[in-house]
Structure 1
Amino acid sequence: MHLLDLLAARAEPAAAVLMTVTRRCPLACAHCSTASSMASEQIDAAVLKRFVGTFTPADRPEYVLLTGGEPLLRPRLVRELAERVREVGGRTQLLSGMYFAAGGRIPVPVRRAIDAVDHFAASVDAFHEREVPRAAVLRVLRQLLDEGKDLSVQLTGRTPDDPYLREATEDIRRELDDRVPVLVTVVRRAGRARTWLPEPGPAAGHRSTVPVPCSLAAWPVVCFDGTVVGCCNQDVVDAAALGRLPDHLRLGHIAHDGWAAIRERLLERALLRGIRAFGPRHLASLAGAGCDGYCAACVNALGEPGAAARAEAVLERPGVRAVERQIARLTREGGAETFLRRYGTEGYRELAALGHVTGGAQ
């Protein structure tokens, strides 16, 4: 299971679900988008297992991404969830901050959890390195790689031209023999980073009224409290926690909704279909609603009942539905390249293909 498999699936609505196993984390990284700590909340394990228990071989996500906080603080739960997903034919990925790597060994419960998931991803950045040395992380990854584990690294810099990114990618490639893909991102103004990262200026692409499809609305996200939202933007997750989530982005709650209901709402809700095909700003423009930002158009402009109703009416026109289907087809055909062009970091996008073998896994 290679990173490119996951990125290509971004073009397929409901191909995956992101599940927050816990918001707790033993690290205190300055850029943490969730502002996690050991005092943060976490949902009851039984509720998470109940939701995964609604997956069936005939109706389940292809991928389940386990995240946090630090999901490996609950290694037994991770293992149980991964085993259930595998039983019904799905696959799992886990993203870890590698808190345990500083100790020089992998604790047995953590190792069992890592063994249970199909793909293991490690976060590497200057902020993590203040608490967990990169060399220690790479030693653990090298051990797992040599044992045949499918891996990837999520590398984060301050800006696309951050010298740290160049130095770190060279180190990762050398130590892991160019066999592990690297997804390079930059810090977003969310969580703790909101207190020190300057607000970005308006992006030219976001002011355009041409269609700019949104793949962030392709997969449902299970939030810290079990609320399920239709977007993986951290601002949307935060809005759910504050009770400010617009109706079109609220898909349900895993305490009483199963996968079938969540999937149907994600696929059939008109506004979400339109956002995936045209992007929220263009859709808001079609509805006659103005907005200064791409994501703001989704949360604010399309969150207004009047604008939402007008957008839904536009989306039901036969010609618009035909264009929607055509854009969705082109997005799927673009595969991982579509996602990397839109969200990858320029100059590093090709690193996502490291270790990929055509026609098979890494």
Structure 2
Amino acid sequence: MRRLSFADLEEGRERRGTLALLFITDRCPVGCGHCSVDSRPDSPRITDFALFEEVVEGLCALPDARVVGISGGEPFIERRGLTYASRRITEAGKDLILYTSGFWGPAGTDGAPGTAGADGGGARLAPEWARAVLRRASTVYLSTDAYHEESVHEHRFAAAARAVAAEDVWLVVQVMNEPRMVERAGELLRAAFGPDWASHAEVATAPPLPYGRAGSLDSHLFRRERPRYPAESFGKCQTANVPVIRYDGTTTMCCNEMVITGAGPARLRRRCTTREEVTAALGGFTRDSLYRAIGTVGPGLVTAHPRYQDLAGREFASVCELCWVMAKRAPEDARDNLIDAIRVLGEERVG
């Protein structure tokens, strides 16, 4: 099994169609105040396992998707679904990426880590089913910051980190792009592994997203007022290169969590009930002329198309806002020769 770094995965996002994401549940027991999808302990989860198996099999049949991520919600709350999906994805020869809060990290009854030992501290106390899932992964993304620590104690975080390392899986600790939170992540990793923590893990940052519960936070990090830029200035959007399938058969053309939970134009989603429909929908998103251009050269260049020329000078707060306007105007036919030509010329110019 390969150990994939953050840089490896970012590079993969550049290669359209090589990554895909399984959104396995809306449910999460952690309840972070900054959750961008408002996942809760009572949010929807897998109920139709026959449909879920079709979803997974359709995802596994994607010929070009070499790396598949599993996110939510909190994937480890779905023991049956996560066990099945992780096994089938790796049996299909794909690298598996797991995104988790680490709430399942083993801890003693007093909140301290499990008994230390040669197997990586409290790792031996992790549930065996969870360890089996972890050892199938190439990378685990473990989130932490001030909001996570309100629910996931530092000892539990450390135990989860050691459990990942005990299975010889690379750990990416993801935090919000804020200096004190990055510093805190380093402190937690030193507590878990000692001074050589960089041989087990790395720290990666992500921008705060002012959506879901985070939209109501009174914090400068999540302010909704953002600068606006003309459409013609927007570059490529890597999220458009990663199609998503939800546990209920909803497929989306990108990994924007708002889209998978119902926001944005209907053209961004398809509803599937069989594995064949899943494979066709996800593959269709990858080949769609508009989304392919957005993911490789950016919507700014697409404003040269007569359908979108009037947008060139209009200002937008995000690439998502612009993409949604374009999607509403796009015909259902996924192929557009002129957009394809604009993309090819753009790729040649950049290359």
Q: TM-score, normalised by structure 2?
A: 0.79
1:339 is aligned to: none
The within-5 A match list for 1:208-357 is 209-210=232-233, 212-223=235-246, 225-240=248-263, 244-247=264-267, 249-253=268-272, 255=274, 257-284=276-303, 286=305, 287-288=308-309, 289=311, 290-293=314-317, 294-299=319-324, 301-305=325-329, 312=336, 314-316=338-340, 318=341, 320-326=342-348, 330=351
Aligned partner of residue 152 in structure 1, secondary structure: strand
Per-residue deviation, 1:30:
0.2
CA distance in 2, matches of 1:57, 1:255: 12
1:126 to 128, 146, 169: 146
Aligned partner of residue 323 in structure 2, secondary structure: helix
1:351 is aligned to: none
The within-5 A match list for 1:25-36 is 25-36=28-39
C-alpha spacing 1:143/1:53, structure 2 compared with 1 (3 Å)? closer
The within-5 A match list for 1:189-204 is 189-196=210-217, 197-202=222-227
Aligned partner of residue 68 in structure 2, secondary structure: strand
Aligned partner of residue 22 in structure 2, secondary structure: strand
C-alpha spacing 1:141/1:269, structure 2 compared with 1 (3 Å)? same
- Asked if 2 retains the 8 angstrom alpha-carbon contact of 1:227 and 1:253, the reply is yes
CA distance in 1, matches of 2:180, 2:326: 39
The code of the aligned residue for 2:65 comes to P
The code of the aligned residue for 2:329 comes to P
CA distance in 2, matches of 1:153, 1:29: 16
Per-residue deviation, 1:41:
0.7
The within-5 A match list for 1:149-164 is 149-156=169-176, 160-164=177-181
C-alpha spacing 1:262/1:181, structure 2 compared with 1 (3 Å)? farther
CA distance in 1, matches of 2:190, 2:345: 42
- Asked if 2 retains the 8 angstrom alpha-carbon contact of 1:190 and 1:234, the reply is no
The code of the aligned residue for 1:202 comes to P
1:207 is aligned to: 230
Q: Is residue 53 from structure 1 mapped to residue 53 from structure 2 by the alignment?
A: no
CA distance in 1, matches of 2:247, 2:36: 13
1:65 is aligned to: 69
Cα deviation digits, residues 294-329 of structure 1 (max 9, x gap): 221111x213337999x946415x4x24314436x8
2:209 to 172, 182, 188: 188
Aligned partner of residue 53 in structure 1, secondary structure: helix
- Asked if 2 retains the 8 angstrom alpha-carbon contact of 1:63 and 1:92, the reply is yes
1:17 is aligned to: 20
Runs of 4+ in 1 over 3 A off after TM superposition: 54-58, 102-105, 173-176, 254-260, 306-309, 311-314
Per-residue deviation, 1:92:
0.9
Per-residue deviation, 1:57:
7.2
C-alpha spacing 1:257/1:192, structure 2 compared with 1 (3 Å)? farther
Aligned partner of residue 19 in structure 1, secondary structure: strand
2:185 is aligned to: 168
CA distance in 2, matches of 1:135, 1:6: 28
Per-residue deviation, 1:174:
6.4
Q: Where in structure 2 are there 5+ consecutive unaligned residues?
A: 109-124
The code of the aligned residue for 2:241 comes to A
Q: Is residue 145 from structure 1 mapped to residue 165 from structure 2 by the alignment?
A: yes
Aligned partner of residue 201 in structure 1, secondary structure: coil
Per mean C-alpha deviation after superposition, the further-off stretch among 104-113 and 214-223 is: 104-113
C-alpha spacing 1:54/1:209, structure 2 compared with 1 (3 Å)? closer
- Asked if 1 retains the 8 angstrom alpha-carbon contact of 2:25 and 2:45, the reply is yes
1:98 to 96, 99, 102: 102
Cα deviation digits, residues 62-105 of structure 1 (max 9, x gap): 11111111111112321221221222211211111111226444
Per mean C-alpha deviation after superposition, the further-off stretch among 90-99 and 102-111 is: 102-111
Q: CA RMSD in A?
A: 2.9
- Asked if 1 retains the 8 angstrom alpha-carbon contact of 2:28 and 2:41, the reply is yes
Aligned partner of residue 40 in structure 2, secondary structure: coil
Aligned partner of residue 199 in structure 1, secondary structure: coil
1:75 is aligned to: 79
- Asked if 2 retains the 8 angstrom alpha-carbon contact of 1:32 and 1:191, the reply is yes
CA distance in 1, matches of 2:102, 2:40: 15
Q: Where in structure 1 are there 5+ consecutive unaligned residues?
A: 331-362
C-alpha spacing 1:103/1:45, structure 2 compared with 1 (3 Å)? farther
